[in-house]
Amino acid sequence: MKARVYVTLKKTVLDPQGQTILRALEGLGYRGLQQVRQGKVFDIQLNGLSKLEAQQQLERIARDVLTNPVIEEFRCELED
């Protein structure tokens, strides 16, 4: 089973890298951009687990290892 975890900064946390990307895009002539937020994506392969077990384990991994809960939030997706 394939899984993907998306990790992003909480909306209340300043994203200096996103602001730098926004300025760079505007400098390249892109218009109408209001905000850019950067994040991380983790692709994980899970084997031998039910869908429920996989979801629970994936959320524990994301919460305990992949994110800093003070400044980041995550979203998990499972593919069959």
Cβ distance 73 to 5 under 8 Å? no
Give the pLDDT score at 72.
97
pTM higher than the cut 0.75 = yes
Q: pLDDT class for 80, splitting at 50, 70, 90?
A: confident
Cβ distance 3 to 79 under 8 Å? yes
Q: How many CB atoms lie within 10 A of CB 65?
A: 9
CA 14, 17, 20, 24 dihedral sign is negative
Tell me the two tokens of residue 48. 């031998």
Task: Give the architecture (CATH level 2) of 2-79.
Answer: 2-Layer Sandwich (3.30)
Per domain, the residue ranges of the chain are 2-79
Per-residue pLDDT tens over the stretch 30-49: 999 999 999 999 999 999 99
